[in-house]
Structure 1
Amino acid sequence: MNNQEIVSKLWGLANVLRDDGITYQQYVTELTYILFLKMMKEQETETVIPEGLRWDDLVVKEGIELKMFYQGLLLELGRAKNERLRLIYSDAATSIDEPKNLEKLIKSIDALDWYNAKEEGLGNLYEGLLEKNASEKKSGAGQYFTPRVLIDVMVKLVDPKVGERCNDPAAGTFGFMIAADHYLKNKTDDYFDLDPLQADFQKKEAFTGMELVKDTHRLALMNALLHDIEGRIDQGDTLSANGKWMKNYDVVLTNPPFGTKKGGERATRDDLTYETSNKQLNFLQLIYKSLKDDGSARAAVILPDNVLFESGIGAQIRRDLMNKCNLHTILRLPTGIFYAPGVKTNVLFFTRGTKDENNTKDVWVYDLRTNMPKFGVRTPLTEKHFDDFVTAYSAENRSVIEDERLSVFTREAIAEKDDSLDIGLIADDSLVAYDNLPDPIESAEDAIAKLQQAMDLLSEVVEELRAVEVEENE
């Protein structure tokens, strides 16, 4: 049994809990509590868990005794001395009321093929579960879930290096940082090619982040732990003073939340130059401010279309971005890839300059949105869809690339349009067909004429029928 099959089985267990009124998000959280204990046993790292509160202590209990023990276990682990363990189980409480459902869930997990799961990687298994939750429309978790293939492409192009400090200020389940860690592990034989100090840095300091939602933060902590990452992952609002510790990074990779702050409130950070209630504009500011000004620090950020064209404060922030950074590439993403219809997004790639003025000279735009398939379950987004973009991005001289989706705009041309970055979309084939339509007035007049002919014909038929009726009555 491979990880994909195990994920399907774990997800199928959600049916067991439907009678308890458990939502999909609650189910994933509940699974996190239980899977953590099982995975610690499988990885032979149970020493972080106090004796008497481990998997073998849990799996032998049944019925009411099991439920009471499990409730007490969650409470005790939320007070554990180990900080990461304590954070995972902080304020943890079970949503399962029926003891037999809890028992079935635990015994079903215990019966899975954990040997093969370990071979493929327990961290990969857990990520698969999170992605499954995101792809389940009823769960609501995937409205802005970043597809793994897109994360991998962004990581590959930003190209993090060993020894660099990487950050995600809107960490979610820590997917970007885990992908960056995986990228570097593949290049260094799981860090065995590094000296002990370098390896220790990668494990404990290289990857950091912050997540606002407590349950999502819990998932991020477990996800990081299963990938042997111990970097700082705080729970809190990045747009408040709590997020000011995130600065001087070499790499930022992120997909900030969409929308405005609750009640239209503005960010409470006092280090943002421009005040706005737009979350993405605030995140964009703090991201380019959090990069080292050494000329090599870089970021790839997913942002919705409105950030590209919003006037007023939006234009001022874009202007500041292009001054302080070299905004060299914008990728216009396909619609529908975030499990939410109609969401239009982009990836902005930029590098922090050594000075604060005139760092952007040209902006290259790649349109991966227009004339693309409708992505979904039947047509999943794959790495192959990004091949031409990766080729264009990586070219030493982009001007020699012959690709209608690739275009370039000078900084002066962008300035003439109020610094709008809503640029570079190619002609939509579905609209081109309308170019050859006849004049609408002529079409309307023609339609009226045909309708009039039809009415005249019907009138004649009616008159003939009346004449026949009169003859028959005579």
Structure 2
Amino acid sequence: MSATQDTVAKLWNLCHVLRDDGVTYSEYVTELTYLLFLKMMEETDQENRLPAEYRWATVATREGLAQLTHYKHLLTSLGDPEEKDADGKPKPPKDPLVLAIFENAQTRLRKPANLKSLTTAINDLDWFDAREEGLGDLYEGLLQKNAEDKKSGAGQYFTPRPLIDCLVRLTRPRLGERIQDPAAGTGGFIVAAHRKIYQANNQFFGLAEGEAQRQIRDCYTLAELVPDTHRLCLMNLMLHGIEGNAQAMDTLTDEGASLPKADLILSNPPFGTKKGGGRPQRGDFSTTANTSNKQLAFVEHIIRGLAPGGRAAVVVPDNVLFEDGTGRALRQMLMNWCDLHTILRLPTGIFYAHGVKTNVIFFTRNADGGQKDGTGAVWVYDMRAGAPSYGKTRPLRAEDFSDFEAAFGDDPLGHAERTDQGEEGRFRRFTREDIAARGDNLDISWLRDGEEEAEDGLTDPDDITAAILGHLREATREIEALVLELEGGEEEEVPASVAAE
């Protein structure tokens, strides 16, 4: 076991200490983020970003109720942009990252002994080895641990690392490109893209003056709606050396329209309907302006968010490929404005909730910015039929994507020489005419679907429970969509599967 893996295991085990304090798994990760931020500022010699009275040692060295009281005051103060001193005068402005991390921060801890357990355990970790292996990898490992634990419920916000890395390898992000994730979650796509660029450019040694700083500050754009998830995203970016534009915002409002055009968009947007059946509040939307289905609206944002010639790889649920009404109009827009060159049908169960059927769509915005005849043919790779039973006992691995990556080829725009493998193979080509004859339905399969076979093979109790919950959530969303349809008369409103950011 590496030092990073050992540290992650020790940190995660601390969550069991806090359960009797009423702290949930997801709350624990947020709580740990506050403390780890303070400790990592000390470990990386960045404590000058914090007021002297609110640094790690001021918390760790206290005992009992005095420690908990100081910690609560610290959280409130670090997140207050207009804090005043005892004389009522404004204190010096805080570091923007510190303000963002601690915005509206509050502790769920009630027992002083539990806070002491956390600070002592954090102090006792092997920080030298952790720094050597990378503090970003440590934090990313903690996020993954949280997502893999069924009780945390965080799997819906965490895209599996092997899938992220596959999409980054195929889209080939380059130095100087503007890269965007409009539903960033904890920032996994941007972190992986940055890692790829960093490694491909000799760890930024030898770049022209200012070029490395422009890369980490100006080339990455992220948006995340959920405040606590945005907090985790900021921490993840910081520990990977990224200071990009990570905004707490709703992309489906006019704020999203202001995001800069991107050369590459990588994203796994949330699935389902907006709460209360709300519609996107985007003045520039046309096709999805009147639907509450978030996954459809996010695809329109991504189409519009690409610069001419820009490319995208986006995780979408099955209904984006087959839904009538708004769904069909969106697919027509996609195939007219862009070259939708590849669809990857993903196996079920890889998002820690069986029953979630997802795909990755790869497309390129028309180079001339035009809005017609973008797609001549679509290649479909079926990775779902006959797939293994993914779960705790059979996690998704990088090698699971090797056949697809070989079939996709080495051109990020999908122009590599490809072979149609026929009805017995997994990779096939369908012309725009073929798709039009299908009513623009892109939910194309020809092999026996292995979903039933895969779920029959589940053996781990947590995986079986997740499969049942996945189907229950799907049924609940269908009922919610039916109610919306009856109340609003929108025939196109069909729900997606469970959220997966």
Same fold (TM over 0.5): yes
Q: What's 1:41 paired with?
A: 42
Q: What's 1:382 paired with?
A: 397
**In 2, Cα distance between equivalents of 1:429 and 1:16:** 41
Equivalent residues in 2 for 1:171-320, closer than 5 Å:
171-274=184-287, 275=289, 276-293=291-308, 295=309, 297-320=310-333
Q: What's 1:447 paired with?
A: none
How big is the shift at 1:342? 0.6
- Alignment of 1:358 with 2:359, yes or no, is no
**In 2, Cα distance between equivalents of 1:66 and 1:181:** 38
**In 1, Cα distance between equivalents of 2:275 and 2:452:** 38
Q: What's 1:469 paired with?
A: none
**In 2, Cα distance between equivalents of 1:357 and 1:197:** 40
- Alignment of 1:399 with 2:419, yes or no, is yes
Does the Cα contact within 8 Å between 1:166 and 1:206 map onto a contact in 2?
A: yes
Across the two proteins, how many residue pairs are aligned to each other? 430
**In 1, Cα distance between equivalents of 2:363 and 2:210:** 30
The change in CA–CA distance for 1:212 and 1:429 in structure 2 (over 3 A counts) is: closer
SS of match in other structure, 1:423: coil
SS of match in other structure, 2:156: coil
SS of match in other structure, 1:399: coil
Does the Cα contact within 8 Å between 1:2 and 1:120 map onto a contact in 2?
A: yes
User: Once structures 1 and 2 are overlaid, which stretch shifts more, 325-334 or 46-55?
Assistant: 46-55
Select the structure of larger CA radius of gyration. Answer: 1
| Amino acid in structure 2 at the alignment position of 1:247 | P
Does the Cα contact within 8 Å between 1:288 and 1:321 map onto a contact in 2?
A: yes
Q: Deviations over 1:223-261 (max 9, x none)?
A: 111111111111121101121221311000000001001
Q: What's 2:73 paired with?
A: 72
**In 1, Cα distance between equivalents of 2:210 and 2:306:** 24
The change in CA–CA distance for 1:73 and 1:363 in structure 2 (over 3 A counts) is: same
**In 2, Cα distance between equivalents of 1:199 and 1:145:** 28
**In 1, Cα distance between equivalents of 2:318 and 2:178:** 29
How big is the shift at 1:429? 7.1
**In 2, Cα distance between equivalents of 1:136 and 1:418:** 41
- Alignment of 1:334 with 2:359, yes or no, is no
TM-score by length of 1: 0.88
Q: What's 1:53 paired with?
A: 54
**In 2, Cα distance between equivalents of 1:57 and 1:247:** 41
Q: What's 1:460 paired with?
A: none
How big is the shift at 1:425? 4.0
Q: What's 2:96 paired with?
A: 83
CA RMSD of superposed structures (Å): 1.5
Q: 2:128 aligns with which of 115, 118, 135?
A: 115
**In 2, Cα distance between equivalents of 1:160 and 1:377:** 31
The change in CA–CA distance for 1:166 and 1:320 in structure 2 (over 3 A counts) is: same
The change in CA–CA distance for 1:431 and 1:103 in structure 2 (over 3 A counts) is: closer
**In 2, Cα distance between equivalents of 1:408 and 1:157:** 18
| Amino acid in structure 1 at the alignment position of 2:241 | D
Does the Cα contact within 8 Å between 1:336 and 1:375 map onto a contact in 2?
A: yes
Q: What's 1:426 paired with?
A: 447
Q: What's 1:438 paired with?
A: none
How big is the shift at 1:427? 2.7
- Alignment of 1:414 with 2:435, yes or no, is yes
SS of match in other structure, 1:131: helix
| Amino acid in structure 2 at the alignment position of 1:12 | N
Does the Cα contact within 8 Å between 1:240 and 1:268 map onto a contact in 2?
A: yes
Does the Cα contact within 8 Å between 2:338 and 2:374 map onto a contact in 1?
A: yes
SS of match in other structure, 2:381: strand
Does the Cα contact within 8 Å between 1:144 and 1:340 map onto a contact in 2?
A: no
Q: Deviations over 1:180-221 (max 9, x none)?
A: 000111111221132222211111011111100000001111
Say which structure, 1 or 2, has more relative contact order (CA 8 Å, 6+ apart). 2
**In 2, Cα distance between equivalents of 1:230 and 1:74:** 22
Does the Cα contact within 8 Å between 1:144 and 1:339 map onto a contact in 2?
A: no
The change in CA–CA distance for 1:52 and 1:409 in structure 2 (over 3 A counts) is: same
How big is the shift at 1:6? 0.7
The change in CA–CA distance for 1:248 and 1:118 in structure 2 (over 3 A counts) is: same
Q: What's 2:180 paired with?
A: 167
**In 2, Cα distance between equivalents of 1:268 and 1:131:** 33
**In 2, Cα distance between equivalents of 1:367 and 1:425:** 9
User: Once structures 1 and 2 are overlaid, which stretch shifts more, 327-336 or 55-64?
Assistant: 55-64
**In 2, Cα distance between equivalents of 1:198 and 1:266:** 40
TM-score by length of 2: 0.84
**In 1, Cα distance between equivalents of 2:330 and 2:373:** 14
**In 1, Cα distance between equivalents of 2:40 and 2:162:** 26
Does the Cα contact within 8 Å between 2:25 and 2:146 map onto a contact in 1?
A: yes
**In 2, Cα distance between equivalents of 1:420 and 1:346:** 14
**In 2, Cα distance between equivalents of 1:87 and 1:248:** 24
SS of match in other structure, 1:96: coil
**In 2, Cα distance between equivalents of 1:22 and 1:150:** 31
Does the Cα contact within 8 Å between 1:281 and 1:307 map onto a contact in 2?
A: yes
Q: Deviations over 1:379-427 (max 9, x none)?
A: 1111111001000101631026688100110001101111110013423
- Alignment of 1:322 with 2:335, yes or no, is yes
Identity value in percent: 50
**In 2, Cα distance between equivalents of 1:144 and 1:343:** 13
Is there any run of 5+ residues in structure 2 with no aligned partner, and where? Answer: 81-92, 411-415, 454-501
The change in CA–CA distance for 1:425 and 1:120 in structure 2 (over 3 A counts) is: farther
**In 2, Cα distance between equivalents of 1:140 and 1:370:** 27
Q: Deviations over 1:75-124 (max 9, x none)?
A: 12113511111010011111000001101111111101111100110011
- Alignment of 1:346 with 2:359, yes or no, is yes
The change in CA–CA distance for 1:66 and 1:376 in structure 2 (over 3 A counts) is: same
User: Once structures 1 and 2 are overlaid, which stretch shifts more, 353-362 or 396-405?
Assistant: 396-405
**In 2, Cα distance between equivalents of 1:148 and 1:101:** 32
Does the Cα contact within 8 Å between 1:392 and 1:401 map onto a contact in 2?
A: no
How big is the shift at 1:58? 1.4
- Alignment of 1:105 with 2:118, yes or no, is yes
| Amino acid in structure 1 at the alignment position of 2:33 | T
Q: What's 1:12 paired with?
A: 13
How big is the shift at 1:143? 2.5
SS of match in other structure, 1:363: strand
Does the Cα contact within 8 Å between 1:145 and 1:339 map onto a contact in 2?
A: no
| Amino acid in structure 2 at the alignment position of 1:156 | R
